[in-house]
Amino acid sequence: MGYSPRKWGEMTSVRKLPSLLTSILAILIFGIAAMGLVLVYEWYENHFPSVTYRYRMTVFVDTPAGLKTGFSVQEASASTSDIELLPGMTNYQASQRGEAVAVDIAPNQTLFVLLDGSGGSAEGTLQPEKPFDGYQAVNYRRNFEALKATKGAAVMPKALYPRMVRFRDIRDPKTVELVDPAHLEASFGKGVKLKSITVEVTDDAMTTGIGQRLWWIGNVYQYLDSSFHPHGIPVGDFRGLFTTEIHRES
């Protein structure tokens, strides 16, 4: 027995119907999944805000031979969450990448302004009057966004100056000495004074090249021993005070 053209068309439509429903169902599932991902992303951004930005730190030093300057483009990252680890305790983390600022004061006399490990000196300079509005993540997010939008160079308060050092012999890491920023004359001679330090948000690439000044920095721990305890200078991550970008140790 054969099928009439009408009955065959009806059967074809019936067969197409499950396929159409499957397609609609797939689209709905995809849409719901996409919406779920957007909601998860928004939730994460609201509760775990973070920021990464670069800044140029410039050091100005007055000397008998005129103004000497040095700069370094560094990168800082910060993140937090409003999910309390313990009552009243939030998870705030900060880190820093880059190289120390080097200022050539005179032949064989260089001032190094070290990394502080967190970028806190820069953040405090760029947002000196940041109001304390609670530890909620939404407040950190607002501060982070304002930080990245900062324009122009800001003068660093003396209270935020990073640690500064010099080497009696730059070829020997064991000759490192702490420098008092208020009395550079004691380390570099009469007439040498720290004028100012400025910080400015930038999109420039991070500064490199400190390995050319400190040829030993990549393998510095081979030149140090347990007797190395310079006054006022932490030695747990001595290389990290000068650079985070060189990790060679053979």
Average pLDDT over residues 4-12: 52
Average pLDDT over residues 75-83: 78
Residues 60 and 44: beta-carbon distance below 8 Å: no
The total number of structural domains that make up the chain: 1
Q: Does 222 map to a domain? A: yes
pLDDT in the model for residue 43:
54
Residue-level length of the chain: 250
pLDDT in tens, 149-208: 888 999 999 999 999 999 999 999 999 999 999 999 999 999 999 999 999 999 999 999
Residue-wise burial string across 104-143, b where 16 or more C-beta atoms lie within 10 A, e elsewhere: ebeeebbbbbbbbeebebbbbbbeeeeeeeebebebbbeb
Question: Does residue 15 fall inside a structural domain?
Answer: no
Q: Which band of pLDDT confidence, cut at 50, 70 and 90, is reported for residue 135?
A: very low
pLDDT at residue 243, rounded to an integer? 96
**Residue 125 is part of which domain span?**
48-241
SS3 63: strand
Q: What is the pLDDT of residue 14?
A: 52
Q: Is residue 59 part of a domain?
A: yes
In a domain, 4, yes or no: no
Give the per-residue pLDDT at 167.
97
Compute and round to an integer the Cα radius of gyration of the chain.
Answer: 29
Residue 170 resides in a domain: yes
**Is residue 156 assigned to a domain?**
yes
Q: What is the pLDDT of residue 10?
A: 53
* Residue 37 domain flag: no
25 located within any domain: no
Quick one: pLDDT at residue 191?
96
In angstroms, the CA 47 to CA 49 distance is: 6
Taking only the tens place, the pLDDT of each residue in 192-249 is 999 999 999 999 999 999 999 999 999 999 989 888 999 999 888 999 999 999 876 5
Query: How much is the average pLDDT of 110-114?
Result: 98
Phi first, then psi, for residue 64 (nearest 5°) are: -60, -25
Q: What is the pTM of this model?
A: 0.77
